[in-house]
Every structure is written in C-alpha cells, then in structure tokens.
Amino acid sequence: MAVRVDEVPWGNFDVVVSMDVSVPLRVIRSHPKISWIYFPSDPGTPTAKRARRRPPEGFSVSLTHTHRRFPVRPGLGPAAIECPYSFQSSFSWEQVWPSQINREGTMVEHQTYDLLDEKQRQLLASLGTVRKPHGSVAEVASMLRSSKYYLRLKGGPLSGNGQVEAIMAGCLALGDPGTYVQRSLFTPQTVTPSFDSALAKLRYFESSPLDYEKARAEQLAVAEWVCFRRPAWQLLQKVRQTR
C-alpha cells in the first residue's frame, strides 16, 4: 500500500531503511534523531557504487546489496556494510514457510534449467523431482522447502540472491562459482563446475546422508554469518554510534 511521504509518522521510528533514495532530503533533515540507512535495489547504479565509499547525503549507513565472507572490497568506506539483498535467516524461514518432512529432488536455477538438455534433466530426475522456480513467492518458497538441493551451473553471472534464499530455506546449494558475482557461500563440498561433477556429487550425497547433513550445516553456518548475523550486528553497532 502506497502512502504519501508526508503522511508517515517518521517521529515514531528510530531507524529507517530506505530502498534507494526514496525519502526526500527535506524529510531526512527534519528528523536528525533517526538513523537513516541507504539500501540500493541495484548495486550497479552510480549512486550505489558511490555509496560504498560514502552514503548519500542525509544517510548515516550504506548497505551494499552484496555479501562477501571477508569484507575487503577496495574502496569500501567506514559507513558501508556488506549486506545481501536477500537479508534473511533460516529462523525466518522456519517461522513463515513450514518445511516438508520428506525433502527430495533439486531446485534448478532458471537459467541453468533452460540450458540443460533433455538427457541431463532425465539424469537429475533419476535422483528425485527436478524443479524450476516459477509462480508466486509462496509457490517458489514451497518448492525450495520441498527440495534437498539447489543447482546453478550455467548462464550469466548472478549476484547470488537465489543461492542465499535456497540455503536459508534448507537446501544444499551446489554449483559453479564462476557463474556468480558473490562466491562466498561455496564450501569445498559444494563446488561443482560442470554438470558431470554436479551429478557425481548429488549421487554421493544421496548415498551418504550423514555427509549431506554435515555439508548442509557447514554451508548454512557460513550463510547465516555472512548474510544475516554479521550485517545485523554491524548495523546495530553503527546505529548505536550515530545516536
């Protein structure tokens, strides 16, 4: 529901996260006690790139829309926090989307799915249901909660929001790191640069449930820290410093 900017009771808030620069500067200046946080919807815009060094005027913190295990991006300013667009945790998923008791099969990222040939899809199907994300948010969430694996092998480089969501939803995310801009959520067990290596890894995990659970837990621990706990803690610290 859209609300006119002057109808929002800004004085009721301690922190406001703005998607892009969606609040006029006059409003920001009239509420100096609020911690104004800039969050770009597209990290590639000129404003988003400049915000990595310094937040837009009136804002105290910039969230980068990106996630790196080690925040060593060149030129990252002291007011910037590495934070993915898919800022969420596995706890969030547990509260909103119930997990399926008997998870099986693979959610295949949509570009990868379209680039697989029929024989490759059949080989994946021999290990369980092959799913391509489609439909509403609720339908995609249900597919992720029903799947054991998430696979991305082909297509143009993505920022990795789908990978974040899949891991938080409880999937083990396999794939080719070369097809991602952000590669920090890969662990040694989840790197599969080709279809053949992915198929071999899927077969291995299907035959070794304990190793599957160990690999999933390790990847989830990395994702929870990089994509949720660390940025949340850093943001809280920044807010405390600016108040």
**Residue 111's CATH number:** 3.40.50.2000
**Cα 28 to Cα 154: distance, rounded to the nearest angstrom:** 43
Cα separation, 91 vs 223, whole angstroms: 12
Domain match, 75 and 96 both:
no
Is position 141 within any domain?
A: yes
Q: Please give the Cα distance from 185 to 201 (Å, whole number).
A: 17
Is 27 inside a domain boundary? yes
Same domain, 167 and 60: no
Q: Categorize the per-residue pLDDT at 71 as very low, low, confident or very high, splitting at 50, 70 and 90.
A: low
Q: Is the domain of 106 the same as that of 210?
A: yes
User: What pLDDT does residue 69 have?
Assistant: 76
pLDDT tens for 25-35 read: 999 999 999 99
Is residue 240 included in any domain, yes or no? Answer: no
Asked whether the predicted pLDDT for residue 240 surpasses 70, the reply is: yes
Burial class (CB in 10 A: 0-12, 13-18, 19+), 198: buried
174, 94 in Cβ contact below 8 A?
no
35, part of any domain: yes
Do residues 33 and 98 share a domain? Answer: no
What is residue 159's predicted lDDT score, i.e. its pLDDT? 84
Residue 48 CA to residue 56 CA, distance in Å, equals 9
Indicate the pairing of strand 130-131 with strand 149-152. Answer: unpaired
Both 125 and 36 in one domain: the answer is no
Asked if residue 162 and residue 135 are part of one domain, the reply reads yes
- For the full predicted model, state whether its pTM sits above 0.85: yes
Q: Are residues 78 and 189 located together in one domain of the fold?
A: no
Domain that holds residue 95: 90-222
Sign of CA dihedral 60, 63, 64, 65: negative
Check whether residue 72 and residue 97 sit in a common domain.
Answer: no
